[in-house]
Structures are given as structure tokens and as C-alpha cells.
């Protein structure tokens, strides 16, 4: 048996050496190592050997099996390497790669993210509401009566069922107070819509950020401190502010905020940047009626609200001369941010 095993080794290795493709190699493997293969047969034959021969023959058999299986592995690796070489023939590995273009966040999104981060540090949570709103959430609850010019069909996009595209994110104030009780401290960034004539500084859709803070003893000082801190963090410590008395239906008193800051190129002139004020008790009462409780009792809680547009800020900060670039989706524009 020793001799037949030696012969088996020699033929197997010769066969393997002569194989030129993977399929034939697999056939050879089955022929020797398969369940009905020659090596299995040899190990079967071993059972009938005299006891004293078994250890020696067994050892030899193991050697032959190891040699054949090693040669098969080596031959397979060699075939794969050859296939790789063929696949890459003619490819110059020293040429520079083409690289994949990397996307980036839209300048408006970048600004919005920065703004959110600053308000988060002051404990404001993110709130959300639908772009398609009811008149109640956009106007009535915000103390804006039916004859208010903001509700004019010429100024707003109405749907046949009376709903409309929200003209400001202030509707999220209402949505939030319907659901939660004081203390409320939220910001709500999002789209707002108006029937504006479209030009370099106006779009029918723009982006706002709303804020609302309701608790016991919230004062105008809190409002001023919060907004001044926010805009200084966003635009630079040198910013100066002016709170000008103004009118909004949903706040009393109301202010417009002007800012002077080098970051906006307005170090020597005032730039109007936000609207704000103390939540009008009429708004709290509209919410209470809707909720059916007194969670926003104006005798117990006060609040401030504010809203500002992000588009003009982003335009100044990113030196974008025309607001329409923000929505054109022109790759040459977007790739710059």
C-alpha cells in the first residue's frame, strides 16, 4: 500500500500542476479529496490492513492528503492571481484617481443648524407644525381678525377647503401651546409663504425661525437678553441692538429689532432683523378656549415670542446677491458651500 500511496501523490501533484482553469481544478479536487475520491478510498482500504501496519500507513496517508490539498490551494491562488492580472491588464495604477464629488449642506440649512445649536444651549426645544395650515392656527388664535390685511387673498395662498400655506411660522406657537402646558420654551424653524412678487430679494417661499417662551414671570428683559445673546453668538460680540416699538397682533408690547454689526456689513447703519414681543393675553385665551382648560392663564403666566427670516441673513453672511439662487438648485452655486 505504501507504494500505491506514493504513486497517488505523484500523479495527483502532476495533474494539479497541469490544470489551467478553476473548473478543471475543482474536478481534480473531487477526484482525490471528494467523498468518493481516491484518498477516501485509500483510507477505507486501510481498515483491512494488519494492525501493525496501520500507524505507518495512516501517517503516510495524512501526508499525502496534506500535500494534495496544499497543492490544490496553491494552484487555486495562482489561478486567481492570474485572473486579476488579466482583468487589470492595460490599467495604469500610477494614474491619479477620479475622486467622487462630495456634497455639502445648503447655506440656509447651515445657518439654520447654527441657530438651532445656540438656542439649544439656552434650553429651547425644537417644535414643528404643518406648512399647510388652518386659518385658526395661522391667524385667529394669533389675534389676527378676519379683516386683517395679512388674510387678504391677494397676500396668501388659499386652498379650496379654506386651508392655506402658512404666512409665518408663528402658527407653531399655537400648535405647541395646544399640546403642552407651561413652561414652554421652543424654537420652530421652517418655511413660510406669501404671494410676493418674485425678485432678487423676494420669493413666494422663504425661511423663518420662530421662538416662544412661556412661564411664570417672563419679562421683556428676558426677551431682550435672549435675542441679544443669540444674535451675538451668531454674528459676533460687537453687535449693537435697538428694540423699536412696533405692532404685531399677537404680541403686546411688540418690537422690531434692529442690529448694527460688522458681520452683516452694517457696522454704521441699523438693519432690521426680527420681530418680537410679549405674548398678547388674547392669544393665551384663544389657546385656553381651544384646550378647554386654564393652562395658559394670563394672570399666572407671561411669555415672549419672536420671529425672524433666515434668507436675508444667509444672503448677507454667504454674500449671495440674489435670493433665487437658494432655490434654483444650480450645482455651480451649491458646490461653493
Closest separation in Å from C-beta 296 to ligand DAH: 15
Closest separation in Å from C-beta 130 to ligand DAH: 16
Chosen residue from 213, 277, 284, 312 binding ligand DAH by CB under 6 A: 277
Residues 177-236 that bind ligand DAH (CB under 6 A): 210
- Indicate whether 276 belongs to the interface with ligand DAH (CB under 6 A): yes
Applying CB under 6 A, the span of 8-16, 50-58, 231-239, 303-311 interacting with ligand DAH comes to 303-311
Chosen residue from 306, 310, 313, 326 binding ligand DAH by CB under 6 A: 306
Closest separation in Å from C-beta 149 to ligand DAH: 13
Chosen residue from 189, 190, 275, 303 binding ligand DAH by CB under 6 A: 275
Closest separation in Å from C-beta 118 to ligand DAH: 17
Closest separation in Å from C-beta 255 to ligand DAH: 8
- Indicate whether 170 belongs to the interface with ligand DAH (CB under 6 A): yes
Closest separation in Å from C-beta 195 to ligand DAH: 14
- Indicate whether 251 belongs to the interface with ligand DAH (CB under 6 A): yes
Region of 109 (left: φ > 0; alpha: ψ -120 to 50; beta: rest) is alpha
Pairwise CA distance, residues 312 & 321, whole Å: 10
Residues forming contacts to ligand DAH in the complex (CB under 6 A) are 168, 170, 210, 248, 251, 275-277, 305-307
Amino acid at each position: 500500500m505504501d507504494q500505491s500511496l506514493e504513486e497517488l501523490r505523484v500523479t495527483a501533484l502532476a495533474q494539479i500542476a497541469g490544470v489551467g482553469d478553476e473548473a478543471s481544478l475543482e474536478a481534480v479536487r473531487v477526484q482525490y479529496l471528494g467523498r468518493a475520491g481516491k484518498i477516501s478510498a485509500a483510507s477505507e482500504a486501510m481498515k483491512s490492513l494488519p494492525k501493525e501496519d496501520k500507524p505507518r500507513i495512516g501517517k503516510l496517508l495524512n501526508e499525502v492528503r496534506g500535500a494534495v490539498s496544499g497543492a490544490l490551494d496553491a494552484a487555486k491562488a495562482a489561478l486567481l492571481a492570474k485572473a486579476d492580472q488579466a482583468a487589470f491588464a492595460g490599467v495604469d495604477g500610477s494614474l491619479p484617481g477620479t475622486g467622487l464629488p462630495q456634497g455639502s449642506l445648503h447655506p440656509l440649512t447651515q445657518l439654520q443648524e447654527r441657530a438651532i445649536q445656540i438656542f439649544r444651549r439656552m434650553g429651547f426645544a425644537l417644535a414643528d407644525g404643518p406648512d399647510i395650515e388652518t386659518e385658526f392656527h395661522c391667524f385667529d388664535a394669533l389675534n389676527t381678525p378676519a379683516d386683517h390685511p395679512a388674510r387678504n387673498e391677494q397676500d396668501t395662498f388659499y386652498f379650496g377647503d379654506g386651508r392655506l400655506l402658512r404666512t409665518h411660522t408663528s402658527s407653531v406657537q399655537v400648535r405647541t401651546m395646544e399640546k403642552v402646558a407651561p413652561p414652554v420654551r421652543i424654537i420652530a424653524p421652517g418655511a413660510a409663504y406669501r404671494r410676493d412678487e418674485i425678485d432678487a430679494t423676494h420669493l413666494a417661499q422663504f425661511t423663518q425661525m420662530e421662538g416662544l417662551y412661556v412661564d411664570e414671570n417672563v419679562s421683556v428683559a428676558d426677551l431682550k437678553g435672549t435675542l441679544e445673546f443669540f444674535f451675538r453668538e451668531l454674528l459676533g460680540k460687537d453687535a449693537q441692538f435697538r428694540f423699536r416699538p412696533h405692532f404685531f397682533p399677537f404680541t403686546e408690547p411688540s418690537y422690531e429689532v434692529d442690529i448694527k454689526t460688522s458681520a452683516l456689513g452694517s457696522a454704521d447703519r441699523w438693519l432690521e432683523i426680527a420681530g418680537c414681543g410679549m405674548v398678547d393675553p388674547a392669544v393665551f385665551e384663544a389657546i385656553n378656549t381651544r384646550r378647554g382648560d386654564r393652562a395658559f392663564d394670563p394672570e399666572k403666566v407671561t411669555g415672549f415670542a419672536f420671529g425672524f427670516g433666515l434668507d436675508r441673513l444667509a444672503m448677507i453672511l454667504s454674500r449671495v446677491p440674489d435670493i433665487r439662487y437658494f432655490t434654483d438648485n444650480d450645482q455651480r452655486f451649491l458646490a461653493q458651500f
